[in-house]
Structure 1
Amino acid sequence: MSEEKELTREAHVEKVRQLIKDSEIALLTTVTPDGLETRPMVTQEIEFDGDLWFFTLKDTAKVTEIQENPAVNVGYVHKSKSFVSIRGVAEVVEDTDKKEELWNKAYEAIFDVDANDPTLILLKVLVQSVEYWEAGSIVKSAFNIARKLLINDAETEFGTNATVELDV
C-alpha cells in the first residue's frame, strides 16, 4: 500500500472526485450496538469537495446510529474497476436551502415526500481518509494474473492501491 502524502489536499480531493464521479450508489456503513450496518444510499449529483451528502428520512435507524456514533464508512465500486473506501464523520443536517439545492424531482418517488417535508433530512459525511484501488483494464489485469501464475514474476502489478488523508 502506498501513501501519497506529498500531494496537496486539493489534489487528493480531485483524485477522489475522479474516482467516485458517475457512481450512483454508495454503501454507507454505520456503527450499531450489535456491530456494523451497511445500506445503499443515492450519491448526490454535486461535485465532491471533501464532503459527501445523502438524503434520508429523520426516523430511520441510520440517523439514530449516527447520532450515537458518527463514525461511518462509505464504499463505492465503480464500473471502471475502481474501489473506494471512505472513512469519515457523519452529521445530520436540517438545512432547507441545502435540501433545495440538492433536490431532484425523482427523490419524491423514492421518499414519498417533497423537498420541504420536515421528515426529510440530509446526512453530511466529512471525509477524513480515503483508500482506493484501481484495477486498470480487464485485459491488463488478466495478463498480469497469468504472468504471475506462470513465471512467478514478483514485479507484476495488479493496479494501484493508495490512501489519502483529507483531514490534514
Structure 2
Amino acid sequence: MAENEPTHKEELKIVNDLIKDIDVAMFTTIVGNKPVSRPLQTQEAEFDGDLWFLTLKDTDKYQEILQNPSVNVAYAGKSYVSISGSAQFIDDLERKKEYWNPVFDKLLNTTYDDPNVILIKVTAETAEYWESGNMTKTVKNFAKKLTGNEDEGDKKQMNDTVEFN
C-alpha cells in the first residue's frame, strides 16, 4: 500500500460520506446487452460495502435482476458516485420493517409485510467517485488488499484502487 493511500475502512467512509445525504440513486440493470436505469430510494444504512433498496416482485427490475444480477447504482449531488456490483433478493421481514417509511405506503400502494415486497441487496464490487475539483478516484481490488494476496505488480497497477468483495 502506498504511504498516502487510504485503507479499505477509509475508502468505505469516503463513499459513505459522499452518498449518505443523497436519498435517490439511479439503479441500472441489464436487459440483454442494454442498460436500463430508474430512480430508487437508498435505504438509510451506513455503507459498509452493501446498499439496500425496497422493491416489488412484480416489477421489471425484479425479473431483470433474476436474469442478470450485475447492476450499477449512481448518485449525484455535491459529489458523484458510481457503484457497480451484484444484486440479490433478501426476504427479511424485520429488515423490511426497519427500512419502511410511510412514503412507501403510497408509492408502492402496500405495506412492508406484503409478500410482494422484497429487499434488493447490492454488494459493491467497484466504486468511482468524483468530488468537486478533484480527479476521479476508483475504489476496487479490495479483496487483494484485504487478504494480502497482491504481488508487487498488482500494487503498481492499483494506484488509488480497492475492490469490494
TM-score (normalizing by structure 2): 0.80
Aligned residues: 142
| Larger RCO (CA under 8 A, 6+ residues apart) | 1
Q: Secondary structure at the match of 1:48?
A: coil
1:1-168 equivalent positions in 2, closer than 5 A = 6-33=5-32, 35-78=34-77, 80=78, 82-136=79-133, 159-165=134-140, 166-167=163-164
- Give 1 or 2: higher strand fraction: 1
* Corresponding letter in the other structure for 2:128: E
Which whole-Å CA distance do the structure 2 matches of 1:162 and 1:42 have between them? 24
The higher radius of gyration belongs to: 1
Which whole-Å CA distance do the structure 2 matches of 1:7 and 1:58 have between them? 39
Q: Does the 8 Å contact 1:4/1:163 carry over to 2?
A: no
Aligned residues with identical type, % of pairs: 44
Q: Which 4+ stretches in 1 moved above 4 angstroms?
A: none
CA RMSD of aligned residues (A): 1.9
Q: Secondary structure at the match of 1:121?
A: strand
Which whole-Å CA distance do the structure 2 matches of 1:65 and 1:98 have between them? 23
- Partner in structure 2 of residue 144 of structure 1: none
Which whole-Å CA distance do the structure 2 matches of 1:43 and 1:167 have between them? 18
Greater mean alpha carbon deviation, residues 40-49 or residues 24-33: 40-49
Greater mean alpha carbon deviation, residues 68-77 or residues 101-110: 101-110
Q: Which runs of 5+ in 2 are unaligned?
A: 141-162
Deviation at 1:6, TM superposition (A): 3.5
